[in-house]
Structure 1
Amino acid sequence: MDKLTKLTTEMYNPKSSNLDQMPIRDILALMNEEDFSIPKAIQQVLPQIEKTVEAVCESFQNGGRLFYVGAGTSGRIGLLDAAECPPTFSTPQHLVQAILAGGENALMVAVEGAEDDQQLGENDLKERELSANDIVIGIAASGRTPYVKAALRYTKSIGATAVSLASNKDAEISEHADIAIEVVTGPEILTGSTRLKAATSHKMILNMISTASMVKMGKVYQNLMVDMNASNYKLRERSKKIVCEATGFDYEVATKVLEETDYAVKPAIVMLLTDVSYQEALSLLDNSNGFVRDAVKQKERS
């Protein structure tokens, strides 16, 4: 019997043995009940997630990048998190990237054999010119995807930081990682369908990693998205609300200052809190590595 069948993610869930005969309401109630186990499973791996965030921050500070690597659902989850970073935190497109086995074609249609191609896992990172300052998070619910395994092995071989994210204990990809996150959410109600609890836990963990890292890189003031890209009407209105919340000034004042900064929220907040010009606010932020709170304190000390 193949080891795959012994994995927790492949096990039979007795709670859903009559899934095909359940009324819709009962199916939904069972799914909801099973999903309650996800936060508890994540709680068990918070120390490993914390180490990962610290490693991501160190990578960014050294000019490195964060890569999510995965096949199928795992790759798509990485792509989703990476795609949200530029609009939410105004990060450059290269800072957080997702690499999906089989390339962009695999986003909607499975690319046969891609996840089993170990050479492809290494080559895709070579094409991105992976450096020792980068960090790679390899995602695989089974914990044994050859593509991900090879990517992590190559990552370590060049001195970059390798992190594994799996849904089984003693996962094979953990053997090739500096930090191993094994979040065990148990058998799925649809046997082997790891797009359910396993994938949900992975998305939640990636949310934690990217958000906490951006907070620690100065992309947040209080609990406000002060580095967002106000690219449309909704986001420009959100920018005004953020400036109002952060400074205590009213909508009209926030609008006037944001128009002056071309809707850059950080300098607008610094301008209002310290009563300086736009150029002075930019200088204060530059000297504070982009941290709004530090920029304000710097002005107060001068």
Structure 2
Amino acid sequence: MLLPKTEKRANGEAFDAMSPAKAIDAFVNAQQAAAGAASAIPKEIDAGADAMAQAVRDGKSLIYVAAGSSGLMALADACELCGTFGISGDIVQIHMAGGVPTTGYMPGNTEDETDKAESIGRTTSKGDVALILSASGTTPYAVAAARSIKASGGTVIGIANNPSTELLNLADIKVCLETPPEIIAGSTRLGGATAQKVALNLMSSLMGVKLGHVYQGLMVNLVADNAKLVQRAAAIVSQIAKVSGQDARDALEQTSGNTKAAILVAAGASLDAAQAALRSNDGHLGPCIATLKPTKPKKSN
């Protein structure tokens, strides 16, 4: 039987037969090769980010669907959207076969539960975007969800590590991450999952850029809901507006923690003018800074 690449063993000496130093070197090299898979498909990655950004603009849902190790990668990316980019948790859905595990056990049979996957489509509508992951590209749960969501008018971003597979054939945006055979044959929690995490991080980060939530490499739409993040938000305001830390904290208090608005207020704009500028520029900070005239003298460090 011809095995898909994700089921083959990597060429060369078996991982378990190597010395520890050689095994570590081989493992790191394999992970680096897997991580680079996304760089071969920049157009597909960007198309996925575009679709995600449009869904957020329209108030539609971002739906993450996967089983097993792919589900863990999906879970990690989905759960970081709110804190990093200020994406409303109300529009992010996570569907992991068997549910999110609360112990170290993830049952394997749940990836065959196509009826539960099909039910996802019943709550999906046109404009929703689903990121559906399957290393093999043939996982029944993932494939059934893709069919169901497409039938309901949703857009499917299919992410798989084998080309020309059922999931990718169904997908509107085909993200094929052609990773080498695993150093432990079939253990796609290694190279396959690494490539999936890179692709998800790329798409969601580019989405943040397209939505104006990243400015000069800084997270200007973060949700500052703990002491560390309040400090980070103040540092961002201080750095961009070129004001003291205290002025940055005062601006954040005035804007109820809205980092973008706080940057403009700290730079000398009124709160009303800052909010209006952000609305007229779709939340993109650069045009606001370029055009907004301060209504009061800006304090310096």
After superposing the two structures, state which structure 1 stretch, 109-118 or 198-207, moved more: 109-118
User: Alpha-carbon deviation of 1:112?
Assistant: 4.4
Equivalent pair of 1:136/1:160 in contact (CA under 8 Å): yes
Equivalent pair of 1:142/1:168 in contact (CA under 8 Å): yes
Aligned counterpart in structure 2 of residue 299 of structure 1, from 292, 295, 300: 292
1:173-221 residue CA offsets vs partner (Å, 9 max, x unmatched): 1111111111111111111100001100000100011111111112122
After superposing the two structures, state which structure 1 stretch, 202-211 or 149-158, moved more: 149-158
Does the C-alpha gap of structure 1 residues 139 and 233 become closer, same or farther in structure 2, counting only changes over 3 Å? Answer: same
Taking the aligned partners of 2:169 and 2:241, their CA distance within structure 1 comes to 49
The residue identity in structure 1 corresponding to 2:237 is: V
User: Alpha-carbon deviation of 1:264?
Assistant: 2.2
Equivalent pair of 1:171/1:182 in contact (CA under 8 Å): no
TM-score of the superposed pair, with normalisation by structure 2:
0.91
Q: What residue is the counterpart of 1:165 in the other structure? A: 159
Q: What residue is the counterpart of 1:47 in the other structure? A: 43
Aligned counterpart in structure 1 of residue 271 of structure 2, from 263, 275, 278: 278
Does the C-alpha gap of structure 1 residues 252 and 63 become closer, same or farther in structure 2, counting only changes over 3 Å? Answer: closer
Q: CA-atom RMSD, angstroms?
A: 2.0
Q: Secondary structure at the match of 2:178?
A: coil
Alignment of structure 1 residues 31-180 onto 2, 5 Å: 31-105=27-101, 108-126=104-122, 129-180=123-174
Taking the aligned partners of 1:256 and 1:59, their CA distance within structure 2 comes to 34
Q: What residue is the counterpart of 1:238 in the other structure? A: 232
Taking the aligned partners of 1:189 and 1:217, their CA distance within structure 2 comes to 38
Q: What residue is the counterpart of 1:192 in the other structure? A: 186
User: Alpha-carbon deviation of 1:227?
Assistant: 0.9
User: Alpha-carbon deviation of 1:29?
Assistant: 0.7
Equivalent pair of 1:100/1:106 in contact (CA under 8 Å): no
Q: What residue is the counterpart of 1:11 in the other structure? A: 8
Q: Secondary structure at the match of 1:30?
A: helix
Unaligned runs of 5+ in 2: 296-301
Percent of aligned positions that are identical: 31
Does the C-alpha gap of structure 1 residues 152 and 136 become closer, same or farther in structure 2, counting only changes over 3 Å? Answer: same
Q: Secondary structure at the match of 1:262?
A: coil
Taking the aligned partners of 1:241 and 1:135, their CA distance within structure 2 comes to 34
User: Alpha-carbon deviation of 1:114?
Assistant: 1.4
After superposing the two structures, state which structure 1 stretch, 87-96 or 141-150, moved more: 87-96
Q: How many residues align?
A: 295
User: Alpha-carbon deviation of 1:272?
Assistant: 2.5
User: Alpha-carbon deviation of 1:39?
Assistant: 4.0
The residue identity in structure 1 corresponding to 2:62 is: L
After superposing the two structures, state which structure 1 stretch, 185-194 or 151-160, moved more: 151-160
Equivalent pair of 1:284/1:295 in contact (CA under 8 Å): yes
User: Alpha-carbon deviation of 1:117?
Assistant: 1.9
Taking the aligned partners of 2:261 and 2:36, their CA distance within structure 1 comes to 40
Taking the aligned partners of 1:117 and 1:72, their CA distance within structure 2 comes to 13
Taking the aligned partners of 1:111 and 1:211, their CA distance within structure 2 comes to 31
User: Alpha-carbon deviation of 1:106?
Assistant: 7.3
Equivalent pair of 1:78/1:206 in contact (CA under 8 Å): yes
Correspondence 1:30 to 2:26: yes
Alignment of structure 1 residues 182-261 onto 2, 5 Å: 182-261=176-255
The residue identity in structure 2 corresponding to 1:6 is: L
Correspondence 1:267 to 2:233: no
Taking the aligned partners of 2:50 and 2:31, their CA distance within structure 1 comes to 28
Equivalent pair of 1:105/1:111 in contact (CA under 8 Å): no
Does the C-alpha gap of structure 1 residues 106 and 134 become closer, same or farther in structure 2, counting only changes over 3 Å? Answer: farther
Equivalent pair of 1:185/1:198 in contact (CA under 8 Å): yes
Q: Secondary structure at the match of 2:115?
A: helix
Equivalent pair of 2:35/2:194 in contact (CA under 8 Å): no
TM-score of the superposed pair, with normalisation by structure 1:
0.91
The residue identity in structure 1 corresponding to 2:229 is: L
The residue identity in structure 2 corresponding to 1:7 is: P
1:53-75 residue CA offsets vs partner (Å, 9 max, x unmatched): 12222222222111111001111
User: Alpha-carbon deviation of 1:108?
Assistant: 4.0
Moved over 6 A (4+): none
After superposing the two structures, state which structure 1 stretch, 35-44 or 206-215, moved more: 35-44
After superposing the two structures, state which structure 1 stretch, 240-249 or 135-144, moved more: 240-249
